[in-house]
Every structure is written in C-alpha cells, then in structure tokens.
Chain A
Amino acid sequence: MNMKPTSKGRFLFVFMLAAAMMLSACTGGGNEADGSKGSSSEKGNASGNKKVSISMFDRGQVSSDEGTYEENRWVKWIREQSGIDVKMVPVPRNEAQSTLNVMIASNQAPDLIWEFDRTYIGRLVSQGVVQPIDEYIEQYSTSYKKYLEENPELKAHLTFDDGKMYAVATKRPITAVANHGMWIRQDWLDEIGMEKPKTLDELIQVAQAFKEHYPDSTPIVGPTTADIYAGLNAAMSTQWYLEDGQMKYGATLDRFRDAIALEKQLFDLGLVDKEYFTDSNNQRANQLWTTDKAGIWMFQWGSGQVDLMMKDLLTNVPDAEPVPLESVETVNGKHGLYQEAIPHIYVAFNKDMKDPETAVKYLDWIVDQGWFTLMNGEEGVHYTKSGDTVKRMDTDKYNKEVLYANEYAVLKQMEVKPEDLIEQAADDELSQRLATLSAEALETALKNEFRRDIPYQPNFDEINEIRSTLDTFIRETRATTVTQGEKYTADWAIEEIRKEWTRLGGPEAEKIAQQWYEDNKANF
C-alpha cells in the first residue's frame, strides 16, 4: 500500500524532470535561432543595432506550434525584411489600457504605443507620456509623409489640443469603418410569413411572432444590443452631439431616454435573454445564436468572430438562413449603427523613446510594404494573385498561420470593396457562402450613416473625470430601470442620469466642450 504512492510519486517526479529538460531544450533551441536571426539582421544593416519596441494586442490567436506573439515566423520575417530589431510587447486585449497604464507608470512601456481609441491616446497626451512627432515625420519619414500628404483629412484626427501631432494612423478600409450590425434568420421570417422589419415597431412585432412560433427561443440576443439601441436612436452615451449648434453629451439627451425605454420594453416583453447582465463574456448570447435558439443577432457586420459564429451556426443547423438586417427607423429617424471614424490605429511615441529615427523608419517600412504580407501571408502558400485581387487559398490555414500577424500591420494602405470579400474567400462552398453574406452585410451596414456630429471627441480632464464615475452610474441605472419592474421608467432613468451629470460638473464640461467646438470647427 505504502510503496505504490511513493513509486508513483517518483515516476511523476522523473516525468516532470524530463518534461522540464525537454522544455528547456526547446527554449534553448529557440534562443539559438533568435541569436542567429539577430546576427543576420545585424549583418543586414551596417549602421549597427537598430532597436524599437512596439505594443500589440494579445488576442490569444497564436497557436503553440506557431510560437508566441513575441517570437514567431512573422516577427522573424519583419526583422529580416526591415533590418530593425523590433520587439513586440503584447498586452491582453480586454485589459489593454490598464496594462499599458501600469507599464507606463513603471517605465516599462514600449517605444511605440497604439490603440484604436483616440480618447485613450488623448489621455496619454494630457498625462504627458507621449511626445509630439511633427518634426520626426518631417525629418525622417518618406513613405508615411507621402501618405499623409495624399490623405490630408487624417491630419485633424492626429493633432491634439496643443495643435501638435501626437500619433500616426492610416485610413480604415470600409471593412473596418463598418462595425456593428444586425442579423436575422430569413428561414424564421419565411416560416411565420413576415417581411424583414423596416421600423422599430415592426422589429418588435417580428420578435414577438418569433417568440410565439418558437416558444423555446430568445428572439433577440447579442453582445452589442445596448449600443445598437443607442445607435438606432442616435444617442451613444459617451459621445457628444450638436443639438441646434450646442454641444450636448449623449447620455443626457431625450434620445438616450428612448434607447433605455427600448431596452426596457424588450426586456419586459421577454424578447431578450433575461440574464444578459451577467453574460459578461457573451457566452450565452453566442450559444443561443449558434444553436438555433435566437432569431435576431445584434453584433457586428462580419469578419473575425462573426464568421466563426456563422460557421458554427451553419454547421449546427445546415438549413439556417441568416441574413443581414438593415438598421430600422425609430421615432428619432433612421440612423446607422455604430461605425468607426476614418483613422484606423493610432500609433503614439513614448516620450522616453531612445531612437525616434528607427521608430519612424519602422513605421515607414510597415506602411510601405510590410503590411501587405502581414495581412495576406505568403504568396503561393496562403494566397494566389490574379491581377490586383488576392485570393485566399485555405481559410483554416490562413486563420492559423496569418490571422495573428494582422496585429503587426499597424499602418496599412488597404482598400476593400464589398465584392472583394467574395473574390478573396477560399473556394469551398461554406467559405463562399459566408463571404457572400459578409459582402451583403458590409453594404447593409454602410447603407445608413451613423450619426457623428463632430469628427472626433473633445479630450479634456474634466470630461474624463466625469466619465470615470458617470459610465458606471449609467450602466447601473440602465440595469435598475430594465430589471426592477414598473416603478422604474426610462423617464426616471434619464432624470437620474441628468442629476448625476449636473452633480459631477456636467454644465461646466458642456461649456468647455462648446468652447472647444467653436475653436476647432473650422478644421472639421
């Protein structure tokens, strides 16, 4: 009896030792490879060791046999091709800003810091941790300088409050401008004999009919429902709007009340998942959609996760016929769902950066040639080229070997037309079907303009401070209104939010925003 556990333990110990040795052998091998790579790149440029580090979002997409975000075939390729010893610094996607903040505070931040969110870069500007770059671009850049001259509309977005440029960015392709989107099951519509809804009332009627016909189902699900209610009513809670020439904060508008009212109405009618407040990772929503338990999906127009979910749905339910749903008309008119502003990724320069010239050269290399391979992979391996169109050879192979490399292409000169999606897709039936849907969804998403009264949001400490309290308050008030029954109405909610807004110094912020608007409107 007693011997067994010990011998087992011994075996386990030996096994672990062996595993550890193997692991260290592996990493050792990796290091050697690194070493040779490093020296080759050194040989590549006589001027010595040019180094730059850049942040990136860790989305957990690198499979273990590809390596890590820091070391893999693409990083190796970038170093060889650009002649710059680049170091990737991954930060977890969902905690990106807080992780970067900690790195900055402890002087461990990379030379180049990027985000999609202009407000975040604005915050770094007001904290003084990134530096103006006009001179660097003027002095060192060729490719990006040319790009900026060709696309002057970007300049205003990259310029911050002191009139200096703090970031570089390229324009979004329309695939990245379009963001939120709705999907509906055409086969369900056919089954109940209804048309695609065009107004909000029709949408609710369809959802009710779905509920009656499929009692087990949850008619409306999705990760972006709240933003979509706000988008339909042109009242995103964190965005400024121009109301008769006056700057007003989205969360304080009557239209935002309508968005809350809609959320409550759908909840009370039992047309949404009653548990979406605890579904923080959207697992339930995704599960309901992919297992034939939901009729309307509010998420994004396509690509990435949408494709994966659609693939799941069509595999689970081969007869399913999901189609994109255009945004519907509300009492506040017809507005598009959330779309992004034109700049794609804002890359800012750490003030402690050692070698700005190399950083600019690196970005020049990316915008010039690097991005294309990082987006498409290797010719003959991942894509074939006919004329100007790039055709993907094998979707699964691409997803595994190239998709994560997209993260490295922070600047890109990419233009996409909806039909390109179909041409680029692999030839198998499912890929083609998904691509056709995506193309249609992209057109649908862009059909209606998302209301954006000013090209970018003003950035000042007062509003950032208000937001740090108000955002939590809005979420809580929404949740209370929606879940706590008749006592709490949307009118009550908007009153509470306005009171809180005033208490936190909202009127003062409005004045500052107004001033900012008057000062800057000439540039818009």
Chain B
Amino acid sequence: MNRQASLKTPISSKNEVKQKSALWKEIFRNRFLYLLLLPVAAYLVLFKYAPMVGEIIAFKNYRLSEGIWGSPWVGFEQFEKLFSSKEFYLVLKNTLLLNLYHLVFAFPVPIILAVLLNEVRVEWYKRTLQNLLYIPHFISWIVLGSIIIALLSPSTGFVNYVLQAFGLEPIYFLADKFWWPVTFIGSGIWKEAGFGTILYLAAMASVDPTLYEAAKIDGANKLRQIWHVTLPGIRSTIAILLILQVGRMMDVGFEQVYALRNPAVTSVAEVISTFVYTRGIVNLQYSYTTALGLFQSLIALILIVSVNRIIKALGERGLW
C-alpha cells in the first residue's frame, strides 16, 4: 500500500520515505541483534500465533475425519449450547472462586516470606532456608497428590492424628465441600510460596542500602524500615505480579485439581480445565470445549487490560 502510494506521488511522501529509510538504517545498524531475535520471533509465530487459527473450530462442528478446514460451519451454535448449559456456570463459578481465594490468601504469602527472609542476617541460615523453601516447587502434583491424600486421611493421616490428640473430631478434608478449597489453596501455598519469593528477593536486593541507613538515622525501627523502605521498593514488582495473577483468573492449573479431586466434591472442584479435559479430549467434543476456551481467553484479556489500566492510574508502571 505504502509503496504504491509513494510510487504515485513521490513528492508528497518524501517525508515518509525518509522516515522509512531511517527505520531501515536503524535495523541495519542493529542487524545482529535483530538476527538474534529472529529465532524467538519464529518460535512465537509458529507455536503461539499459528495455532490460534485452530480457534475457528469453536464456530464449526469439528469432526476428526474432516479436519479443521473441512468441518461444517455452525456459527454461534456452540456458544449458545455453552451459555444455556448448567455446567458452564458451575465450572465458571468454581474457577473464579478458587482464583479469588488464591488471590486473597496465597498471593500475599510469598511477599511476607520474602520480607522475613530479607531480614535474616545469618547468611548460611538464610541460604539453607531459601533452598528448603524452593524444593516443594519441584515435586509434581501427581506425586504430591498422593502424599496429601495420605496425610489428610481421616483414619491414618497425620493431620487428623494431631486433631484427635487435641480431642477434636477427625475431618475428611478432601471429601468435604468446605475443606476441599481450603486444602486446595493450602497445598498450593505449601508448594509454590517459597519459589514465589525469588522475584521479590531480587527486587529487595536492588533497594539502595543508603535508604535503610537514612531511615535508621531518622530513628525508624525494623517494622518502620520494612514499611517505609522495603515495601515501597518492591511495589512495582508486586504490581506486575498482580496483573499477571489477575490475567490467570479464568485459569486453574489442571494437574493440581486432577490430583486432588474426587466425586464427592465435584460441585466445588470441577473447573474449566478439568471440564475441557473430560468433555473435549476424552469425549471428543472438541468444538464445544474450544468455544469455552475462547470465551475463557477473552475474559482473561479483558481482565488483564483493565487491571493494567487501574495499576497505571495508581501511578505504577504497568505491563505495557
């Protein structure tokens, strides 16, 4: 388009040409950097953007034999089916609730942990502690699932043994609709909180030490120093992680739910990812579940954009 225009009216678009050649110059000057960028760009196009074309099956009735292109178009039929089904609202509610609990209870934990670790002055102790905190992150949910089931068993589990020692009734944590989400969030914290401290600790390391000295001279005690120096120092990191977290509001990791769920708690444990698995992959309703996936991505996009706006309005740097 541009080139055509410039051919027709060379004089009026002189400016444009100049700008363009400046851009090419710029690219040429940094050609090696752009070359380095190429594989990553290719990766993104190939594995992130190209598969998006497949989303069109949400508007089709996909059959394996006819493929993505051959299957017949059905317009919004899959979405109508989705929005008129009872299960959709159930999995949506569960997904949002579990994420809300996560945001309220699990999100602040790594911040608190990082602040505490930051105050530890004995270096070897701090290192050991940090490493111990990272380890759970590397255990797979499938393994951890069996450990949790055994640990929380009402008859043989250690937790209930302790409860009984205090004269309390044993609780069947994983089959109770109140305790299941608690267990879910709790186990999530146990596994991921330690690893989540990494970013915050890195941010704290970059806080200027002279600020602490100044605070000390002004007579600030430890708590005051944390409040007025450490926390403001990691504010932008918190903001960015918060945006990312809200972007994941529509998404609950499949493995954790899959490892911990059971028929007794389906009404609180069935989330979008497990629903898509049973309906789409096991029962071959690809179009229906793709429609759900598309809806999920759309909401996530809206959420992440609005939170980014809000954060920016509050004076922090957003994601973009």
Contacts and interface: CB of A to CB of B under 8 A. Distances in A.
Is this pair of chains taken from one and the same complex? yes
Interface of A: 97-98, 101-102, 104-105, 123-124, 127-129, 274-275, 277-278, 280-281, 283, 351, 464-465, 467-469, 472, 475-476, 478-480, 483, 503
Contacts of A503: 86
Contact of A476 (B267, B281, B285): B267
Interface residues of B, number: 29
A98 B254 CA distance: 15
B65 A97 contact: no
A273 to B, nearest CB: 8
A105 B149 contact: no
B278 interface: yes
B262 interface: yes
A478 B263 contact: yes
Nearest to B87: A469
- By Cβ-Cβ distance, the 5 closest A-B pairs, closest first, are A128-B65, A479-B264, A475-B263, A468-B283, A476-B266
Given A128-B64, A274-B172, A278-B175, 17 more contacts: A101-B281, A102-B281, A105-B64, A124-B64, A128-B63, A129-B65, A275-B155, A275-B175, A277-B264, A278-B174, A280-B262, A464-B284, A465-B283, A468-B279, A475-B263, A483-B172, A483-B175
Interface SS of B by simple majority: helix
Interface in B255-297: 262-264, 266-267, 270, 277-279, 281-286
Given A105-B286, A281-B146, A275 B172 contact: yes
B154 interface: yes
B225 interface: no
Tell me which of A128, A277, A467 has the highest count of chain B C-beta atoms within 10 A of its own C-beta.
A277
A104 B64 contact: yes
From A102, A476, A503, name the one whose CB has the most chain B CB atoms within 10 angstroms: A476
A480 B64 contact: no
28 contacts: A101-B282, A127-B63, A128-B63, A128-B64, A129-B65, A274-B154, A274-B172, A275-B154, A275-B172, A277-B175, A277-B262, A277-B264, A278-B262, A281-B146, A464-B283, A464-B284, A465-B283, A465-B285, A467-B283, A468-B278, A468-B279, A468-B285, A472-B266, A476-B266, A479-B263, A479-B264, A480-B264, A483-B264
B118 interface: no
B26 interface: no
Contacts of A123: 284
Contacts of A280: 262
A1 B175 CA distance: 51
Given A128-B64, A129-B64, A275-B154, A101 B284 contact: yes
Contacts of A468: 278-279, 282-283, 285
Contacts of B283: 464-465, 467-468
Contacts of B86: 503
Given A127-B63, A129-B65, A277 B263 contact: yes
B278 A472 contact: yes
B218 interface: no
Contacts of B267: 476
A10 to B, nearest CB: 20
B119 interface: no
A129 B154 CA distance: 47
Interface in B218-267: 262-264, 266-267
B13 interface: no
Interface string B57-68: 000000111100
A475 B286 contact: no
A386 B103 CA distance: 71
Contacts of A104: 64
B153 interface: yes
A274 B146 CA distance: 17
A503 B64 CA distance: 28
A194 to B, nearest CB: 26
B65 A127 contact: yes
B24 to A, nearest CB: 40
A127 B278 contact: no
A157 B172 CA distance: 45
Nearest to A123: B284
